[in-house]
Chains A and B, each alone.
Chain A
């Protein structure tokens, strides 16, 4: 027993000594490489990637683009976090990346973005947001941080329009009875709230009605938050939201509710703010239409070919290419800043497919490991570029525009 106690005491002393070393250490951030002609491939750059989702098709497609294309093309190594459930997990993952000498972090996780930015700034590690943006308030607070590179992704207006355009697509065809899947709306996820708001406003406009007293973007967002993000079926003038399900419970009750909405004979169109293929595809009736906002995968193409899915607003995996090159550029001493010297915030939209042929064409490009939508040659033009060049490049996000850029 004495030996055991001595060993334990010895271990404690060792831990304390290293803790002292940890407390006294100084971080060295940034880098000293400066090459304006193009990315410096002579030294490997480690980049941490924060993810809150490791299993969805979208998350896997993004990861494949970074690990199977970008990592093969550039002298970089991506370190992925585990699935991050909360702010503490995000902080731990950032600590892990810093300990492993990552020079930059690209974040797909949003439990506490301000804390992520603060932690990276404090430790001299570059930080960028992929496939998302900060709120205006947050941007104003952090835009001047030296190590905050910026954000590229659909802003909230783009999310709103994605929902609006999808609902309008069906309303224009004369459909009036809808079932809706609200995804993470009850969890206060802004992206899904704005998409849902867009769908509801489109219904209000087509039906000459209101939903919870609201009929435009501002009032609808306010009404949704006012209702605690809990939506209900309602008659909206000449249009009707017949059924509504939200959340990601994945239990029998949840699947039962989805089936009930899809099995309602009056429902003509099923709309989903996300994950519609998971939620509704299994229950959808042959005469119903299904629209979803998600990403391009072999499964979604197959669903479009079978007629199960007929509208898909999808992110493309290479959409995270520009944020990568901006991060690499910053790490190698050529940060891309706005004219005022701030971090950038650039909105990027979706590819919309309304036919199987379109979806197939998009997917072939999107899943390519040799010629993806954004190739190295295209991304290299952004290395050390001006803000206006980066903005112009990112904002040409439609499939046709990107094909033009590739030429």
Chain B
């Protein structure tokens, strides 16, 4: 077999794999629509519901793609989102300003992300190691914040304060703006290319003069913005925050990124829209299981099996004979 034939074959295969998450999303969408018609589901409300349920993960996970592209991993994002939301809510209760709440949420999340990445740089540790330490630290901080607030086991923002922005349009605008920002950085700026290079081959990246630590700090800062926006959107949707707030978001971010076709090893095949596709696919899958009245245990097993399948397909795609191009 000639080189050209091999390359064409590999390219076709690669294109198919690249499209797999999108096709999966379309498939889930079609199944959901069919079920919705058969089971007399309120379709307009369902779409509003899907946006409400996926927007926080879409925003937080899209930022996290920058970290995953480096071949790194952050398991503290859910806890970071919770801490940011709690401090943001406390800031609102002090100032009465929604804008201050937004800025505090983003500021705290970026700060936490920077601490993780800077610590890793100072101690020369793999970044994911510091995120494990941050997870413990942030989980403890959640309890301290709630205890210090002195109003019981929750921190609340008055529902009336966020009622005006608890609508689909506002959430869509925040999501689209942040997605556009990330796509711009990832696909049209040097930063995205450098991140992919660093993730794909750190040794070569270093030899060509790239500073891996600076790239890590930049990636974590961008992810922090997403987490902060996610914290703000969490408050607008449910302004009563507790130690359980966003408890599942950390895992949802990981699942969404993988579900959206992002290679777990990062590198050149990383795609910025993976998180959005994955998060919406997961929400659709949840809706389908709910409509079918599947027991939550069965639902979890179905999700686990699909997760393994997606990772397997993703890994298979990397067994080609040529480098990605």
Interface residues, chain A, with chain B CB atoms under 8 Å away:
1, 3-4, 7-8, 11, 14-16, 18-19, 21-25, 27, 54, 79, 82-83, 85-92, 95-96, 98-101, 111-112, 114-115, 118, 187-189, 228
| Closest chain B residue, CB of each to CB of A123 | B45
Contacts of B18 in A (CB 8 A): 1, 4
B25 within 8 A of A: yes
Decide: A112 and B40 in contact? CB cutoff 8 A. no
CA distance A100 to B296 in the complex (A): 16
B19 and A3: CB pair below 8 A?
yes
Report A347 CB to chain B, min CB distance, Å: 23
Partner pick for A7 among B19, B44, B237, CB 8 A cutoff = B19
Known: A4-B18, A88-B238, A111-B242. A11 touches B26 (CB 8 A): yes
Q: Which of B99-107, B164-172, B189-197, B214-222 contacts A (4 or more CB under 8 A)?
A: B164-172
Contact B237 A91 (CB under 8 A): yes
Q: Do A19 and B242 form a contact, CB below 8 Å, given A4-B19, A100-B42, A228-B147?
A: no
Contact B48 A115 (CB under 8 A): no
Which residues from chain B sit less than 8 Å from chain A, CB to CB?
15, 18-19, 22, 25-26, 29, 39-49, 51-53, 147, 152-154, 159, 167-169, 172, 234, 237-242, 244-248, 273, 277, 280, 287, 290-291, 293, 296, 299
Q: What is the CA–CA distance of A19 and B52 in the complex, to the nearest angstrom?
A: 11
Q: Is B42 touching A99 in the complex (CB atoms < 8 A)?
A: yes
Name A97's closest neighbour in chain B (CB-CB).
Answer: B290
B159 touches A85 (CB 8 A): no
Residues of B within 8 A of A88 (CB): 234, 237-238, 245-246
**In the A-B complex, the 10 residue pairs with the closest CB atoms:** A22-B48, A25-B44, A88-B238, A85-B244, A87-B238, A112-B240, A18-B47, A87-B240, A188-B153, A188-B152
Residues of A within 8 A of B42 (CB): 25, 27, 98-101
11 further A-B pairs in the complex, CB-CB below 8 A; given A101-B41, A188-B152: A4-B18, A22-B44, A25-B44, A25-B48, A87-B238, A88-B234, A91-B52, A92-B52, A95-B52, A96-B287, A98-B45
Question: Chain B's nearest CB lies how many Å from the CB of A152?
Answer: 24
Q: Select B238's contact among A8, A101, A115, A228, beta carbons within 8 Å.
A: A115
Q: How far is the CB of A110 from chain B (nearest CB, A)?
A: 11
Output the least CB separation between B156 and chain A (Å): 8
B296 touches A19 (CB 8 A): no
- Please give the distance in Å from B52's CB to the nearest CB on chain A: 6
What distance in Å separates the Cβ of A59 from its nearest Cβ neighbour in chain B? Answer: 13
**B25 engages A11 (CB within 8 Å):** yes
CA distance A375 to B311 in the complex (A): 51
Q: How far is the CA of A118 from the CA of B42 in the complex (A)?
A: 20
Q: CA separation between A21 and B49, bound complex, in Å?
A: 12
Could you give 14 example pairs across A and B, Cβ below 8 Å?
A3-B15, A11-B22, A11-B26, A11-B277, A19-B168, A79-B293, A85-B244, A96-B49, A98-B45, A99-B49, A100-B291, A111-B154, A118-B159, A189-B153
Which residues of A are found within 8 Å of B296, using beta-carbon distances? 54, 82-83
Inter-chain contact A23/B26, CB cutoff 8 Å:
no
Q: Are A21's CB and B245's CB within 8 A?
A: no
Once A21-B44, A27-B45, A86-B238 are accepted as A-B contacts, the answer to whether A96 and B290 lie under 8 Å apart by CB is yes
The answer to whether A100 and B159 touch across the interface, beta carbons within 8 angstroms, is no
Contacts of A1 in B (CB 8 A): 18
A residues within 8 A CB of B248? 85, 89
Interface contact B47-A19, CB-CB below 8 Å: yes
Bound Cα distance from A11 to B247, whole angstroms: 29
Alpha-carbon gap, A98 to B39, bound state (A): 13
Q: Which residue from chain A places its CB closest to the CB of B273 in the assembled complex?
A: A8
**Bound state CA distance, A85 and B245, in angstroms?**
8
Expressed in whole angstroms, the Cα–Cα distance for A310 and B237 within the complex equals 46
CB distance from A186 to the nearest CB of B (A): 9
Contacts A88-B237, A100-B291, A188-B152; A19 near B41 (Cβ below 8 A): no
Chain B neighbourhood of A118, CB < 8 A: 159
Looking at the assembled complex, report how far the CB atom of B318 sits from the nearest CB atom of chain A, in whole angstroms.
18
The 8 Å CB contact of B44, one of A3, A18, A95, is A18
Within the assembled complex, what's the spacing in Å between the Cα atoms of A101 and B42?
6
A114 to B18, CA, bound (A): 45
Query: Once the chains bind, are A111 and B240 in contact (CB under 8 Å)?
Result: yes
**A192 → B minimal CB distance (Å):** 12
Decide yes or no: A19 and B237 within 8 Å by CB, A4-B22, A86-B244, A96-B49 being known contacts.
Answer: no
By a CB distance below 8 angstroms, the chain B residues around A18 are 43-44, 47
Distance between Cα atoms of A187 and B146 in the complex (Å): 10
Could you say which residues of chain A place their CB within 8 Å of the CB of B19?
A: 3-4, 7
Chain A residue with Cβ nearest B286: A96
Nearest CB of chain B from residue A312's CB, rounded to whole Å: 27
Also in contact, A22 and B291, with CB within 8 A (given A100-B42, A111-B240): no
Closest to A94 in B: B49
A98 CB contacts on chain B under 8 angstroms? 42, 45, 49
In the bound complex, residues from chain B placing their C-beta under 8 Å from that of A91 are: 52, 237-238
Shortest B142–chain A CB gap in Å is 12
In the complex, residue of chain B having the shortest beta-carbon distance to the beta carbon of A77: B293
| Cβ contacts under 8 Å, A92 to chain B | 49, 52-53
Contact B45 A25 (CB under 8 A): yes
A228 to B169, CA, bound (A): 41
Most chain B beta carbons < 10 A, residue from A1, A22, A101, A118: A22
Minimal Cβ-Cβ distance residue in B for A92: B53
A352 CA to B40 CA, complexed, in Å? 45
Tell me, rounded to whole Å, the shortest Cβ–Cβ distance linking A241 to chain B. Answer: 23
Give Cα distance in the complex from A87 to B235, angstroms: 10
Q: Which residues of B contact A99 (CB under 8 A)?
A: 41-42, 45-46, 49, 287
Q: A90-B238, A98-B45, A101-B41 are in contact. Are A85 and B247 (CB under 8 A)?
A: yes
A15 to B44, CA, bound (A): 11
Contacts of A15 in B (CB 8 A): 47, 51, 280
- Residues of chain B with a CB closer than 8 A to A3's CB: 15, 19
Pairwise interchain contact A115-B240, C-beta atoms closer than 8 A: yes
